[in-house]
Chain A
């Protein structure tokens, strides 16, 4: 393994993960109660964190892209059937475990013992997925919309959409008190 590989992949991944895990734990989103209460509408931390991250990140991505500093990476993929079906399943799992993959790992780090069983379940789920993959991959080919981005779908500028999101987020923070 070259030194550059170690720097980019190992150190880069670890450092980014450490920052992410730290933020998740500080945000309280590595807690079952916080996530489940979001689904029950008695705690809005999850939506607040998500919206802020999307607005900040989105403004950054599209501004940097506007000045040709970065390309739009392949996360901007057209929605396929797997996104819908997988997303519906994911929600069931997230409400039952009370965590999502990233927050579950952060929860394990913070000392929540039940999170480790979540991790075992996730590893098992991944293994079963791999086994069933030949029958599942068809879903990935069924495209639901040819638009890779919502602004392309709506036929507007990304900055208009981001502006609306920004306003919406500010209003959300202003009016939704936990």
Chain B
């Protein structure tokens, strides 16, 4: 009898937890954007995101590149070899470029 009561209590707790997880909103995850670097271009070369969104640059090209803030070079990724990635958090409108191949340019715009 006692074990039966304990089992019922245990099952009730489990059921309650399951119910809670169904109705509670999932923890908020920031959207994640990807920019591929290929054929000497940033693809897409312009993205519009929210403040705090994460942006990952992936080098899929045959040569190394970097991602550098264009106006005053206040931030830069390290040199990214083929296959390497670099992530940043969007905080403001910014133009960037590849300092190794100065004609390669891109933009981040905040919604």
Question: Do A and B interact with each other, yes or no?
Answer: no
